[in-house]
Every structure is written in C-alpha cells, then in structure tokens.
Amino acid sequence: MRLKKGSFLWYLYLDKIYCLLSVRNVKALAEYFHILDVHGKNTLNDVLFYHFLHHVTDLKRHRQHCIGLEQFYMLVCMLLAHENHLEGQFMYRHSRPVFDLLDLKGDLRIGAKNFGMYRFLFNIHKQELKDLFHDFDVTGDNLLNYQEFKLYTIIYIDKLQRRQKTEEKEK
Amino acid sequence: MEEKPSKVSLKSSDRHDSDKESVHSDIRDLWTTTTLSQAQLNMPLSEVCEGFDAEGRSISKTRGWYSPGSRSLDEGDKASHKPEEMDEHALVELELHRGSSMEIIPGEDTASQIEAEKSSSMSSLNIAKHTPHRAYWAEQQSRLPLPLMELMENEALEILTKALRSELPTNPQELPRQILATS
C-alpha cells in the first residue's frame, strides 16, 4: 500500500531517527482529519475511511472500518514510514504501539496468521515472516510475546545499520 | 524513546532563507538530530492539536509547546515560564546568547557538529530545558506553505464529495445511515 504521489500526505515527512511527525505536520494532519470528520464525532465512519484510503493510497481492497484520530495518526505515520523506507526504524522506535496493533485478539501475543495479514504495512516478505517466527519464538508456542517482538526489532535495526555502514564504506 | 533536550540552534538570519527547499531540508535534519523532552512525549494527540491555533501558536494555558507568546510546556517547572508577550526577535537573540556553542549551518557537514553536540555537558541540559524547543521554533519560522494547506482542504473536500456521491440513492428520501448518521 503506497501513498499516491501529489496527495497531501505525500508531502508530510517523518523524523528519520524517531519516526515522528513534527508539530506542524501533526497540526495540519489534525485539521485534515477534522475536515473529513463531518459529523464532529472525532471519528471517520466506515464510508469516509474507505474513500479516504482509496483516494490517498493504491489500496484496491479494503474492509470498511471506523477510525479515530489516534489511530488515524498512527496509520499516517505507518504510511509515511513505508513510503520513506523507514519500516524497520518505525517498528523499533514504536514497538509497543505496533505490537498492540498486531495483537488482534488482545492476548498480548501475535500469531503468524495475524502478522501475515498486516506484514505489507512493514514491507515484510512471506519468507522473512517465517524466519522471524523461527528465530525469535523463544517460547516455542508459535506466538510472539512483546519481548520476542522487541528483540526482533532490535536485531532488525542492528542488521540494517550494519548494512548501511557497509554500503557507505563501499562508496 | 530517549529524552534528551534539544541542543541544536540555528542562526536566526538563516531562517528567512528565500530558498524554500533548503529551509525544508534543514528542518528535516533539525528534527532528525533533535530529541524531545520527556514532558512533551506523553501528551495525547488530541491535546497537542487543541493547544494550537491556525498559526501554530500555542493557545493552551496548561499545556503546549514552547513558542513565542505562549506559556511553558513543562508543568513541573513553572518558574521557568517565559513572559507571554516576549518579542520573537528578543527570544531568538536570547537563545543565541544562551545556547550551546554548536551551531548547525545549513549546507555544511553537520556530522562532527552533531557528535560534539551530543557529548556536551549537563549545563546545556538545564539551559535547553528552559528554552523553547529549537526544532519547533525553527519550524514555526517557515509555516506550512499556503498551497499545501489549500491542497489539504481541496483533497478533503474531494474525498467528502466522493463519499457522498457514492452513497446517494436515486430517491433522496432514502439517504443512507452512513452519510446522515447523527449523534
């Protein structure tokens, strides 16, 4: 799922290290949300959210859901992280919210199936997901708890930084 | 997330750069190398947004980012509140005189400056605690460009129009609940 070039969100940007929006961008985003929130409920209903996603991204299929401002902000940050290839950084810096997002059942565990449904948000390939569960499921229950997930993000970012250093040296 | 105070400063003269792109990229670097204080991190999103007017200035009495004309964010440190009517120019001068010796000049290599900055003493921690968040302040110098605000509004209206048209039945009396849902 990519942002459409020239859309308003496409012009926003995340801080490269902490993967946060600046205050100015948050203010603009909140104003954008409130314009869309025609009913004044601090929520985009399913129809509005559907049309929003289809207008600003290349998403083809979408199940209709409502979304509040907090989740909207999180979604936009994830879209921007994906757009700017900061998925790993984003997961590392915001591991708790990402874990809570993937913990669909609310049992403080992430299953492979649920993670697989949303792996596209973080640009994780199928084989990478299999390797992830193989390497980091320390408890062996085919589920990731928060500590295992956090460990994965730390190792991931460490590998990324090493790769970047190697690439810089080669240059 | 780490909570180190901002230690980056910019020359005020450079903030009025006519080259919008270089200012925009400077702000990106500034945000990249700047950290947020802990008091600013745990704020709910809606509270952050409520505390600002259309110009991005803080209007909240009890919370809000540092900005000219607003009160201090740090509720636990109210003694350090700046005067509400501090002149913007005076504020910039105050920062320049107070702040660290490190300055980031746009266009120059900042890596060594950033490294030295990170290893500066605790005195700068205290100073930074009482000065406006520099990255925010720098950002406020160059507002979101008007065409982008117009783009934002037009895009939102387009989405609303599409949503409305997709749901309008041939018989207007049968308007769907999704569009007309009211509290």
Q: Which phi and psi angles does A105 have, rounded to 5°?
A: -85, -15
In chain A, domain spans? 16-84, 85-164
Looking at the predicted structure, is the pLDDT value of residue A51 above 60?
yes
pTM value > 0.80: no
Query: How close B123 gets to chain A, by Cα (Å)?
Result: 24
Please judge whether B35 and A18 are an interchain contact, meaning their C-beta atoms are less than 8 angstroms apart: yes
Residue among A32, A47, A73 minimizing CB distance to B45: A73
Where residue B24 falls among pLDDT bands split at 50, 70, 90? very low
Return the number of other C-beta atoms located less than 10 Å from residue A44's C-beta. 26
Written as six digits, the tokens of B135 are 């990255």
Please judge whether A39 and B182 are an interchain contact, meaning their C-beta atoms are less than 8 angstroms apart: yes
Interval A100-150: pLDDT, tens: 888 888 888 888 888 888 887 787 888 888 888 888 887 778 888 899 899
Please judge whether A30 and B45 are an interchain contact, meaning their C-beta atoms are less than 8 angstroms apart: yes
Of the candidates A137, A123, A135, A128, the one whose C-alpha atom is nearest the C-alpha of residue A88 is A123
Query: How close A71 gets to chain B, by Cα (Å)?
Result: 10
Percent of chain A with pLDDT over 70: 97
Answer whether B81's CB lies under 8 Å from B129's CB.
no
Q: Which CATH class is domain A85-164?
A: mainly alpha
Instruction: Give the pLDDT confidence score for residue B62 in this predicted structure.
Output: 42
Please judge whether A41 and B44 are an interchain contact, meaning their C-beta atoms are less than 8 angstroms apart: no
* ipTM (interface pTM): 0.77
